[in-house]
Amino acid sequence: MRQRETYGAHLRALVALSLPLVGSNLAQMSLHVTDTVMLGWYGVKELAAVVLAASSFFILFILGAGFAQAVMPMVASALGRGDETQVRRDTRMGLWLSIIFGVAVYPVFWWSGPIFLALEQAPDIAGLAQDYLRVAGVGMLPALLIMGLKSFLSALERAGVVLWATLAGVVCNIVLNWMLIFGNWGAPEMGVRGAALASVVTQVLTLLVMAAYAARHPALTQFRLFQRFWRPDWPAFVQVYRLGWPIGLTGLFETGLFWAAALMMGWIGTNELAAHGIALELAGITFMCHLGLSNAATVRTGRYFGADDYPALRDGAKVALALSAAIAVIITAFFVAFPAPLIRLFLDMSNPEAPAIVAYGTLLLACAALFQLADAVQVMALGFLRGVKDTRVPMFIAAASYWLIGMPVSYVLAFPLGYGGVGIWLGLVVGLAVAAILLMLRFWRGRWAGAAQA
């Protein structure tokens, strides 16, 4: 019988796996942050439009990324069983499904302007948002394939290349933004279209680097990931689909909550929408830390689940949850202590509207501090549940928590009760807290937790 790992051993293994994942998530997030910051320097209307457009892109990306994310627990579980052939099959079919989704969704980006107008957004903001998405939408396909390869490499505990490729992409994106948004170094001044084009080029280059690594690295050639890539494996296709679509919908319910919040903030005003976008970017940066930990927890939980090692599964979950909670406390303190300096990073303070955006954003960032712990707990619970291939019930929990509770509370607090944007964000806190409680109960009451106690 194998000796049971100590909590310290779990912590060391978790940190070693999660650091490159957290780093790559932060680097990926920084692509959007740099767009937001640099367009904030360019103009307030352009900033507001990209807040709306990026939120729309992201919710569709999250829906399609469910198939890529399903690769991670499936590969981890196959490795736990020692089944290398299934690793290749599951990854390939995850990439197939990502390609199908990326192609199918592009028309939504092309005709996004009328959709925004129907949702009562200002015509000039809707037009700029459509300009952005018509270009940025091309990047959906490489972005989803990057996610699929990231899941494959993470499950093999080779996430370091993801970090370095994404960091290189950030540098590339900043340089291209500087050229194409503002028209520097002889390039045309393209505004929001320039930011979108820079993102697409960056995504394609990142994909090429990761694909070359997965295909050529000596430790990975045994999987022959791209050999006869066109050949289907329908049983694996169905398995990835069945596990992936609830993951995608779960992510859609959560990100859709924030997208709806952006729409409601657009009803309040352009400055308020800009402040909301900045606060959301800052909260999103911190969320990437918890998401990286959650991804690492999915891999380790999946390995133990595949090997039927339930005591280790439970101990690893305890360590991961404690580490995520500690990070949440630190981030909360930082948001409370330094809200205004953080928000100013996103603005040209010579703009006469900037002080009003900073003041409003400070209030919203205080609300973001409130939901740090709830957000950390719910994403960690999702990571644990995906590791044990439990995705359908969490999908229903997310739907109820975010849309039957969180969104109505946001609307009522914001408009009938008159709390405006602060009310919208307090509703987000309520929805996340309910999801966190229910998802954790789901995990710790599952058969895997019971087996660990036996």
- Residue 243: alpha-carbon gap to chain centroid: 18
- Give the closest residue to 336 by CA, choosing from 366, 376, 299: 366
1 lies in a domain? Answer: no
| Predicted pLDDT of residue 454 | 43
| Cβ neighbours for 311, distance < 8 A, ≥ 6 positions apart | 4, 452
Nearest CA-CA partner of 153 in 102, 230, 212: 212
Helix (H) / strand (E) containing 219: none
What DSSP character marks residue 311?
Answer: H
Residue 188 falls inside a structural domain: yes
Assigned domain for 435 exists? yes
Q: Is residue 163 part of a domain?
A: yes
Token representation of residue 152: 């494959």
* Cβ proximity of 424 and 410 under 8 Å: yes
Q: How many CB atoms lie within 10 A of CB 14?
A: 19
Q: What is the pLDDT of residue 105?
A: 92
Tokens representing 77 are 């579980």
Q: Please tell me the distance from the alpha carbon of residue 149 to that of residue 355, in angstroms, as a whole number.
A: 43
In a domain, 280, yes or no: yes
Give the model's pLDDT for residue 393. 92
Considering only CA atoms, which of 205, 241, 273, 248 is closest in space to residue 61?
248
| Token digits of residue 420 | 């405006």
Q: Residue 136: inside a domain, yes or no?
A: yes
User: Are the C-beta atoms of residues 206 and 162 closer than 8 Å to each other?
Assistant: no
| pLDDT (0 to 100) of residue 54 | 81
Q: What is the number of other CB atoms lying within 10 angstroms of the CB of residue 238?
A: 11
By residue range, what is the domain housing residue 154?
A: 7-453
CA distances from 229 to 115, 359, 408 (A): 37, 53, 46
Residues contacting residue 56 through CB under 8 Å, at least 6 positions apart:
112, 129, 133, 259
The model's pTM: 0.77
- The reported pLDDT for the residue numbered 452 is 46
Q: What's the pLDDT score for residue 400?
A: 95
Domains identified in the chain, total number: 1
Q: Which of 143, 181, 185 is nearest to 37 (CA)?
A: 181
Q: Is 184 helix (H, G, I), strand (E, B) or coil?
A: coil
What residue type is 286 in one-letter code?
Answer: T
CB < 8 Å & 24+ apart, contacts of 267-272: 267/120, 268/414, 268/420, 268/421, 270/44, 270/45, 270/48, 270/122, 270/125, 271/44, 271/353, 271/356, 271/357, 271/360, 272/360, 272/420, 272/421
Query: pLDDT tens, position by position, for the chain (454 residues)?
Result: 456 778 888 888 888 888 888 877 777 767 767 777 787 777 778 877 887 888 788 888 888 888 888 888 888 888 777 777 787 888 888 999 999 999 999 999 999 888 888 877 778 888 888 888 999 889 899 989 998 898 888 888 787 788 888 888 888 988 998 898 888 888 888 888 888 899 899 989 989 998 998 888 888 877 787 877 888 888 888 988 898 889 888 888 887 787 788 778 878 887 888 888 788 878 877 888 888 889 889 988 988 888 888 888 888 999 999 998 898 888 888 888 888 888 887 776 777 778 888 888 888 888 877 778 888 899 999 999 988 889 899 999 999 999 999 999 999 999 999 888 889 989 988 999 999 999 999 999 887 766 544 4
pLDDT at position 3? 64
Give, in order, the Cα–Cα distances in Å from 402 to each of 71, 252, 376: 26, 10, 15
